[in-house]
Chain A
Amino acid sequence: MSDDLDKSGRDGENLPAADPIADPGLPEHQWRPTDVDPAQERRAERQVTGMFLTAALLFVLFVVAYFAVEVDAIIFDYSASNIALGVTLGGGLLLIGMGIIQWAKKLMADHEMVEMRHPAASSKEDREAVMKDINAGIEESTLGRRPMIRNSLLLSLGALAAPSVVLLRDLGPLPYDQESTVWEPGMRVVNDVSGLPIRPSEIEVGQLVNAQPAIFFPQDGEEEAEISGHSQLAPKAKAAVIVVRMRPEDITPEAGKENWGIDGILCFSKICTHVGCPISLWERQTHHLLCPCHQSTYDLADNGKVIFGPAHRPLPQLPLMLDSEGYLVAQSDFLDIQGPSYPEIARHQEKLDSES
C-alpha cells in the first residue's frame, strides 16, 4: 500500500534522483536528566505539583476577590476587580496548562514512535466495489430508465429556490428617498445638541457650527420634536450639516450658487460622499475639510470640491437664507445628492436637476 506513495512522479518524469546522502535512520534515543537522575525526577514532580496547587489556591483567591473586591474599586488607576479576577483566573489556568505540559515534557515517556502512512486515495478494489454498488442502485431505482421522473424532480427542486429567495423579500423595503433629506425651504438651521437657532451675527469668521435641521428639536412651545428618539438616526444620517463662516472675498462660488451663503456663511452636508462618515475637521485658514475616516479633503471655499483622497463627488452645499426673525434657514433641500454614491445616483441627480 505505502509503495503507491511515490509511484506517480512529476508529469511521470524527472523523478527525484537518489538522495546524495543516504538516510542514516532515526538517531538513537537520548535520555533526559529526569530519566537518569532520581533527584531531577523528584524536582520535576515537585514543580508540577507546585503549579497545580498554586492554581487551586488562585481559584480560591478568585472567589474571595469576587465577593471581597467592589466592582467599582480602583487600584493603580485600573479596575481592581478586573485585575484581581483576571490575574487569579488567568494565572490559575496558565499554571494548570504549564503544569500539564511540564509533566509531559519531563516525566512522561518521550520515546518517539513511528507510524506508517497510507495514501489518501482509496484502493482500486474499494473504488470498483463502490462503482458496482452505485450502478446496482441506479439500476434498481430505475433512475436511468425514467428520465421524465428524474427531470421533473430536478425541476421541482430547482423551483424550490424561488420560495427560498422570495421569503427574504421582506428583509427590507425597496430603496426610497435616497435623493432627498428632511431639509425643506424655510427650515431653520439649528445648533446640534442645544437646538438653538442661529443668527449670522453670532458667527464670526473662522467659526464652525455643527448643525441640524430644526425638525429634530422641539421648537417654540413644543413638548417634543417632530422627529425624536431613535427615529432621528436615519434622517440625521442624511441631514446633518456644518455651517462655517469665511471672508466673502475668499469664497469662489460656482455660477448659480452666489446667493447660497450670507456674508461668507456657508452650509455644507456633514456626510462624506465617500462612504458616509460625518466630517467636521475644518481648517479655518486653508478652508479645507478633512474626513477622519479615509482622509478625503474638500475645499469649502471652492464649492466643496474634492482636493485629496478617495471621495469623488464634491460635498453638497445647502443653500441658506434668513427668515423673518433673522435666523438661518434653508432655501431648499440639497440640490446635489448627499452621502455616499449608490448605483442609481446619476439618474436621481438628473431627475433633481430637471425639477429645479
Chain B
Amino acid sequence: MSATYTPIENTPGGKKAAGPVGWLDDRLGLAGVAKKNLRKVFPEHWSFMLGEIALWSFVVLLVSGVFLTFWYQPSMAEVVYDGSYAPMRGLEMSEAYASTLHISFDIRGGLLMRQIHHWAAALFIGAMLAHMLRVFFTGAYRKPRELNWLIGIGLLSLGIIEGFAGYSLPDDLLSGTGLRIAEGMILSVPVVGSYLSFFMFGGEFPGDVIIPRLYMAHILLIPALILGLIAAHMLLLVYHKHTQWPGPGRTEKNVVGYPMFPVYAAKAGGFFFVVFGFTALMGALFQINAVWVYGPYNPAEVTAGSQPDWYMGFAEGLLRLMPNWESTILGWTFSWNVMIPGLGGMAFLFTALGVWPFVERWITGDEREHHLLERPRNAPTRTAFGVAGITWFGLAWIAGGNDIIATQFGLDVYAMIRFLQVAIIVGPILAFVITRRICIGLQRQDRDKVLHGYETGIIERTPDGGYSERHQPLPELDRYTITAHDRAPALEAAGETDENGVAVPASRRARLKARARRFYWEGVVDKPTAEDVEHADEHLGEFDGHPAALGQEFRGVSETGVPKSH
C-alpha cells in the first residue's frame, strides 16, 4: 500500500484519457450507470460461484466454437477421406465427418480446441445443474426471484438441446446412432410423429439436411437464445442483488460483501481465466470423444457403448428401464415405451422444476421477499424433495450407462435393469424419508447446541464417581447465525371451524392445502424462543467448577484428544 495516492484523473495517463472519456460520457452518460454499479456489493461464498463456472464455460464455448467454425463443413455431401488419419483414408464419408477429422489431425491446435469445446460444453451443463441445486437447496428461488429461476430452467433446457445438436455434428457413427434414437423418439409423438420426423430430416432418416439444420441451430439460433437469457438472468441478479447467508449483521434488508470494483471484479474476472485455463488443461490432458475411432455414420453399423453425453444419460436410462408398452387406439399407434421415458422424462423434469417455487409458495402461503438463504436442514421437506430428485436422476443416469458399468464390474445387464426398474421408484421415496429425518435430526442438534452448548469432549468425574461430558456455551455470533431463520408456522386445521368454533364445510381446496401444509412442516423442530434461551442460559451458567480455565479460542477437543481452536 503506497502512502500517498494520486487520483487517477491527476496522473499523466489519466490526463491524457480525460478527453476521450469525457467525449464518451457526453454521449452515453456513463457516469450515471457507473455510479450505481461500480461499488455494488456482492456477498462472498464458494457456492455463489457455481453459476459463474457455467457463465465462463459458455464464454469458452463461444471462443472455441468460433475457432472450430473456420474449418468445420456442415455438409452431408460425400467425400473420400484423404487426410492424415491412416485407418480412414480412402473411405467415403460426409464432409462433416471428414472436416472433423481434418480439425483433429491436420490443424495445429484443432484437436485441442475440439476437446476444450467438448469439455466446456459438458462443464457448462454440469455447472448449470450444480448452480441450480445450490439455488434450490438454499431456497434462493423464493420471491422475488421466481422469474430468474424460470429463466435458469430455460437456460438449462436450451443448454441440453444445444449440447445434443453439437454432439450430432461430427456425423460419426456415435452421433449418427444418437440421431437415430432421436428419430425414434420423434416418431413416438402421438399422431404427428411421422410428419415431424419427415419434416425434421427432410424426408426419410437420415436424409441430407439434418447436419446443416442442426448446425444453424447450434451456432446461431440456440446460442442467441442462450445469450439473451443470460443477459436477462444477470440483469435480474443485479436488480434483486445477490442473496446472502444469514449471520451477524447480515439481514433481509441489507447485503454485506465486497464491492464490484475492485475486489469482486478481480475475483470474478480471475475466475474466468481459471475456468478457461482449467478447461484448456483438461483439453490438453484428457481425451474426449475420439471421433476417429467410431468411423463415419452408417445406419447398418453400431458400436457397443453407444451413449449420449452425460446430461442426456438420464433420458437414455429411462428408455432402457421402461416396460415395452405400446397400444393402438382408433388406428393410431402409441409407443408408450418410447414416448413416456424419452419425451415424458424430460418434460417431467423441467415441469417439476418450473412449478416447484409456485407449489411451495402455495403450500407455505409465504408472500414475503427473501434475501437470506435457508440452510437445507431448515426446510426439511424441500431438501428431501431435492435429494429424491437427485436420486431419481442418478439412478436413471446409471441405467443409461448400465452396459459400461456391467462390463467394467462384471455385472449382469438384465439384473441391473430389473433392479433399477424397482429402485427408480423406491429409491427416491427412501431418499425422501431418510433426508427428511436427517434434516430434522440436524435441526434438533442445532437446537441443543443453542440451548445446552456444544460438547467439549472433556469428560468430568463427579465426586460420587459419575461421568459426564462438559458442555460449553456457543459463542454469541454462532448462536445468532444458527437461529437466524424463519420460525415454523403453527399448524392449524385450516377451514374446519369458523370464528365461533362451528364446523364449516371446508372447500376441498382448503382441505388439500391444509394437508399439504401439515405434510410440509411435519416433524420440523422449531428454533428455541427467547424464553427457552434465557432459561437454558441460567442452567448452563450454574456450572463453574472446572479446575482449568478454557480460553476464548477453545472449541472443544477432537476424538484424538487434540484441542480444536477457532
Contacts and interface: CB of A to CB of B under 8 A. Distances in A.
A209 to B, nearest CB: 12
A48 B478 CA distance: 35
A93 B208 contact: no
Contacts of A81: 108-109, 111-112
Given A6-B368, A110-B263, A293-B177, A274 B338 contact: yes
B199 A172 contact: yes
A292 B274 CA distance: 39
A116 B253 contact: yes
B520 interface: no
Given A112-B257, A120-B144, A237-B180, A294 B300 contact: no
Interface string A61-94: 0000010000110000001011101110111111
Given A113-B256, A275-B181, A23 B266 contact: no
A310 interface: yes
Interface in B359-382: 364-369, 371
A8 B527 CA distance: 22
A10 B301 CA distance: 61
B489 A90 contact: no
Nearest to A347: B331
A341 B187 contact: yes
Given A82-B284, A172-B198, A277 B267 contact: no
Interface in B186-202: 187-195, 197-202
Size bin of chain A's contact surface: 35 or more
B306 interface: yes
A254 interface: no
A115 B338 contact: no
A149 to B, nearest CB: 33
Contacts of B190: 343
Interface in B265-315: 266-267, 269-285, 297-306
B325 A23 contact: no
B328 interface: yes
Interface residues of B, number: 143
B477 A172 contact: no
Interface string A90-116: 111111111111011100111011111
A19 B480 contact: yes
B411 to A, nearest CB: 13
Interface string A158-175: 000000000010011111
A91 to B, nearest CB: 7
B177 A277 contact: yes
A191 to B, nearest CB: 12
B262 A310 contact: no
Interface stretch (A123-131, A227-235, A322-330): A227-235
Given A113-B41, A236-B300, A309 B324 contact: yes
A5 B250 CA distance: 15
A157 interface: no
Interface in B230-252: 239-241, 248-252
Closest 5 CB pairs of A and B: A86-B284, A275-B184, A97-B273, A94-B277, A90-B280
Interface of A: 2, 5-6, 8-11, 13-14, 16-27, 41, 66, 71-72, 79, 81-83, 85-87, 89-101, 103-105, 108-110, 112-117, 119-121, 168, 171-178, 192, 210, 212, 229-230, 233-238, 240, 270-271, 274-281, 292-296, 306, 308-313, 340-347
7 contacts: A20-B533, A90-B280, A101-B271, A120-B369, A175-B194, A281-B304, A292-B403
